[in-house]
Amino acid sequence: MIIEATHCKGLPVVDSSGTEYGVIDFLVYDGKIGQAVGLQVAKSGVVKKFFGLEWRDIASSNRRAIVIHDKSALKTNLKDLDNIYHHYGRVINVTATTESGKRIGRISDVLIDADTGLIVRFVIRSLFHERIIPRHFLVSITPNAVVFQDVVDQPIFDKLAIEIPIIEPTA
């Protein structure tokens, strides 16, 4: 199943019995591999608490919730996920550029394989239009920019992108 990253924010994190542990605050991306590797989970209360959840600890997901096996999947030590988050940034709302430095818009969403966390498509919005760029054209992800191959700014790109099949990630 493919899920939109922007749809994940605010989804409840529950175990298989339905006990809710909080909601997704944001996703953590590893820009080196172009993959969501974890989530920050926020639990409201008198004092707001935060937990880390690694993508591999997600039992299942759907449009209504992220399901974990049990509470032990939630980590109180957020150091590892924080380091990744600060190294690669948030991805959503980051400037999208080509290798030659031309600005092509902002990342408005990413489409993620729910099983692996792999980013399969980037949704880029500019002033007058929105386009979807497959991950095959990704060069790098940094806190300041998501960089794509120069070909994404060529007139032939839309035809080329349509002809590329979606490659199912391997486990």
Cα distance between residue 16 and residue 19, in whole Å: 8
CA distances from 7 to 58, 82, 101, 160 (A): 16, 21, 30, 28
**Mean confidence (pLDDT) of the chain:** 89
Neighbour-count burial of 22, counting CB atoms closer than 10 A to its CB (0-12 exposed, 13-18 middle, 19+ buried): buried
pLDDT in the model for residue 149: 94
Q: Which domains does the chain have, with CATH numbers?
A: 2-88 (2.30.30.240), 95-163 (2.30.30.240)
Within 8 A by CB and 6+ apart from 17, the residues are none
- Answer whether residue 124 shows pLDDT above 90: yes
Residue showing tokens 């004092």: 47
> Over pLDDT 70: what percentage of the chain?
92
Neighbour-count burial of 41, counting CB atoms closer than 10 A to its CB (0-12 exposed, 13-18 middle, 19+ buried): buried
pLDDT tens-digit map of 25-64: 999 999 889 999 999 999 988 889 999 999 999 999 888 8
